[in-house]
Structure 1
């Protein structure tokens, strides 16, 4: 399989990943309604600022993590599968690339959260949102193992849990393609098997595997469509995009006009199963496939705002430490406890987070990647 005709970078997918990260940040806005480690019983989601506009993110923003897993599968099968199969990318090189990309900011964010939580606990006698901030969980976080099944619960910079699972997925992916597996049927088999097993064994790695390898299936299908669609009548390329548009149109109608999902729920258990599986197994795969196809066919159309994708990791890792600072401001009486209900403070929060994330990406993430890769992979260009 060759995708040499594809662009070197699919900016549309990068931007979608950045939007997914910001969706998780908005989903976590509810953290400010916590009293200690639990959500206030007085909390009403619809009272959050600009709810009528941001309803989708306040209600379902957490699903951005599922989008991460699926998109990661697509990207890794696209960028790495052939080079690993052909032994052009070694385990050492692959590991260093991942380590240099993920670990430096994770390490710094972990230390910052540790110090801020200690300060917060000294004032409030309880931690902010996430309760298990002891030595044991610190070392779990230090080793990227915060969601491997050894933990007692959420700890430190807890959103890193998805990256903790990603680390395991990278290992499984590398072994898979090293032994020359990873075709569309294999990916589909692993995805379905993981999905079924997760119904029996509730572990985050199984959910991650199901979506990561589904991303592999989407990559294979996207490659097939991009290579063959012109010969089809009617073109499956256009059908894919039209279905994606219809799916998103239905989502917008459901959240902002009237509840289409209520009629589906009337189907009982089958309706609930469909609604729970619709975003990760239909909406997200079609979205990734369509964005990739459009850019492959039409050229880069979101390059000007690709910085949104660049700040994905930094915004995802920095948003909870920033929330801790706001929590300390409440503790000191600088902010009222109900400040989070104001759209002004929501705006201020993002006006701090987004520039901070971009500066972190430019001044810390990229330089650290170059330094580590130059040291560990001197024969390779960083």
Structure 2
């Protein structure tokens, strides 16, 4: 259970890490099918993972940031600098690395223009036009950056008057409804509407809902069996909610509203489930996935390209071998990335914050 240890120290929420890791693994599973067999139908659980695995990331991000910063982030120069610098070093170095690898391994002058490369280097414009990111899946990082730009100000207003969270929720729900029913067209394939789908305003609801769950969390005790049963029930309902057709059907109409509600409840039940009685080996595996989830999410398309190319040159065309090798090497390189890239730059960010703290 997460408890405030001091004004500035908050213990880690293991259950959130577990779900984040499982979401990353589900997206990898979807891509393994997509890359080898083609697009899935909306009726498939993999099709739902494609869309709502990323939504889970946003919700968990909102929960985590609220829990960590609700008492320590104020509209002061020092606090704002610390927040934005730490967020920069948490996200951007790995994003740059994956972008560089993508350009080097899969360079295509038609879609990797100088202008687009500059956009990826400067990063911030991607918060407004996330479809401009080169690396596979990087559009969601652009959305996260967009959310971070407003987070300190939202926390300030929520701390000032708690009902502000309802105003933010209403606005975010309004954007979700607008994009779901008026912007995205169910008669047009999702790929042709990608820039509209990845617009951060259309995704803002999930992040804001995460903040709301962070606020609500202190009023809900942790349970083991009860919440796990609820989680299982709502996962079953999510998996078997009837939708079919092109993936655009998952993000338009009533289906999107229902599936979004399922995902929010899934996150809530997982967040408040006590895993202390679970087998240590299971918790270790889930924690491992949670730790490497960011690297796994960004790196696995690159690993797949290298694995498929290498095996093809060796005359090995077996899809099962390609998928197996991709999964194993993705986990391996994601762990190396977590240790040597993510952790390294997180520490650099902390030292940088500490250094400038004396000057502010």
Secondary structure, in 3 states, of the residue corresponding to 1:248?
helix
The correspondence of residues 161-240 of structure 1 with structure 2, limited to 5 A, is: 161-179=139-157, 180=160, 183=163, 184-199=165-180, 200-201=182-183, 202=196, 204-226=199-221
Distance 1:27 1:285, change over 3 A: same
User: Cα deviation per residue 1:70-113 (whole Å; 9 max; x = unaligned)?
Assistant: 11111111111221148697110001110111111111111111
| Matching of residue 71 in structure 1 with residue 52 in structure 2 | no
| Aligned residue among 342, 347, 352 for 1:370 | 347
Per-residue deviation, 1:149:
5.1
4-13 or 301-310, which deviates more = 4-13
TM-score (norm 1): 0.73
| Aligned residue among 237, 258, 273 for 1:278 | 258
The match for 2:270 is: 291
Q: 1:300, 1:172 → 2: CA distance?
A: 40
Q: 2:212, 2:91 → 1: CA distance?
A: 25
The match for 2:31 is: 28
Contact kept in structure 1, 2:119 and 2:132, CA below 8 Å: no
The match for 1:124 is: none
Q: What's the RMSD between the two structures over aligned residues? A: 3.7
Per-residue deviation, 1:182:
6.0
Count how many residue pairs are aligned between Structure 1 and Structure 2: 327
The match for 1:113 is: 102
Contact kept in structure 1, 2:85 and 2:353, CA below 8 Å: yes
Uncovered stretches (5+) of structure 2, i.e. residues with no partner: 184-195
Secondary structure, in 3 states, of the residue corresponding to 1:169?
helix
Q: 1:132, 1:149 → 2: CA distance?
A: 18
Per-residue deviation, 1:15:
1.4
| Matching of residue 80 in structure 1 with residue 69 in structure 2 | yes
Secondary structure, in 3 states, of the residue corresponding to 1:60?
helix
Q: 1:239, 1:224 → 2: CA distance?
A: 16
Q: 2:276, 2:59 → 1: CA distance?
A: 22
Uncovered stretches (5+) of structure 1, i.e. residues with no partner: 34-41, 47-54, 122-126, 230-236, 255-259
User: Cα deviation per residue 1:199-237 (whole Å; 9 max; x = unaligned)?
Assistant: 44546211221111111222222222239x9xxxxxxx9
User: Cα deviation per residue 1:17-70 (whole Å; 9 max; x = unaligned)?
Assistant: 01111211222225535xxxxxxxx84759xxxxxxxx6336633421111111
Q: 1:316, 1:99 → 2: CA distance?
A: 18
Q: 1:56, 1:329 → 2: CA distance?
A: 30
Distance 1:242 1:372, change over 3 A: closer
Contact kept in structure 2, 1:20 and 1:61, CA below 8 Å: no
The match for 1:334 is: 314
Secondary structure, in 3 states, of the residue corresponding to 2:221?
helix
The correspondence of residues 26-175 of structure 1 with structure 2, limited to 5 A, is: 26-30=29-33, 32-33=35-36, 43=38, 45=40, 56-57=45-46, 60-85=49-74, 90-118=79-107, 132-145=111-124, 147-148=126-127, 150=129, 156-175=134-153
| Matching of residue 17 in structure 1 with residue 20 in structure 2 | yes
Contact kept in structure 1, 2:238 and 2:263, CA below 8 Å: no
The match for 2:190 is: none
Secondary structure, in 3 states, of the residue corresponding to 1:295?
coil
Contact kept in structure 2, 1:24 and 1:63, CA below 8 Å: no
